[in-house]
Chain A
Amino acid sequence: DAKTTQPTSMDCAEGRAANLPCNHSTISGNEYVYWYRQIHSQGPQYIIHGLKNNETNEMASLIITEDRKSSTLILPHATLRDTAVYYCIGRTSYGKLTFGQGTILTVHP
């Protein structure tokens, strides 16, 4: 799996959009970008994934640059319950995901 780089921590005001960046400059052509989050000590929660095109679901939007070297996860209207560790993962291995240190997102009232 490609090495990803994320900021250690970010803050966001409640109700505003949270934009979480991820650098994956060594990503290969068939490598998907996955985002997960972990709230407190719960199990990691799947958010979204994509290959080349931008993706949107009920939780978030994923914007992948044209050269695929970076991506941004967007939570359109952050709430206090979105406070969590967010993991960006570049996946090439058929099967497992390799988690890094992630970004601690804190949403403030």
Chain B
Amino acid sequence: DSGVTQTPKHLITATGQRVTLRCSPRSGDLSVYWYQQSLDQGLQFLIQYYNGEERAKGNILERFSAQQFPDLHSELNLSSLELGDSALYFCASSAGTALDTPLHFGNGTRLTVT
């Protein structure tokens, strides 16, 4: 158990809808990361927050947004969903952003868009 909690585990929704994925980082970790894993793309970095502020952006679509709250949990909002958004979404956390600080991943939310 990595200590990173993601909810829900599974989500099935229709095209055009909006969903929110939630992540609780490990106790004491200030940094949160979101990754997307689809069958044909591998693990893709989406966005990183550190202590409530956005730190880095990756291949995140404009339809997607995220935030980190004062209690350090994070939410990833996906809107105007398309079939191609079906994927596993992973959250990771780390104590800081130093190069020798490992990321620890949750077990993901499996999103299916029908």
Contacts and interface: CB of A to CB of B under 8 A. Distances in A.
Interface of A: 30-32, 34, 41-46, 49, 51, 91-101
B90 A93 contact: no
A45 B58 CA distance: 21
A99 B43 contact: yes
B100 to A, nearest CB: 6
B2 A43 contact: yes
Contacts of B92: 43-44
Interface string B91-114: 010000111101111111010000
Q: Is the interface of A mostly helix, strand, loop or mixed?
A: loop
B48 A43 contact: no
Contact of B99 (A42, A45, A94, A98): A94
Nearest to A38: B43
B18 interface: no
B56 to A, nearest CB: 5
B45 A45 contact: no
A46 B45 CA distance: 16
B33 A96 contact: yes
B98 A94 contact: yes
Contact of A101 (B42, B108, B110): B42
B66 interface: no
Most chain A CB neighbours (cut-off 10 Å) among B31, B92, B99: B99
A46 B3 CA distance: 12
Contact of A44 (B90, B97, B98): B90
A39 B45 CA distance: 19
A98 B2 contact: no
Contacts of B105: 43-46
Contacts of B103: 46, 97
B102 A49 contact: yes
Interface string B69-101: 000000000000000000010101000011110
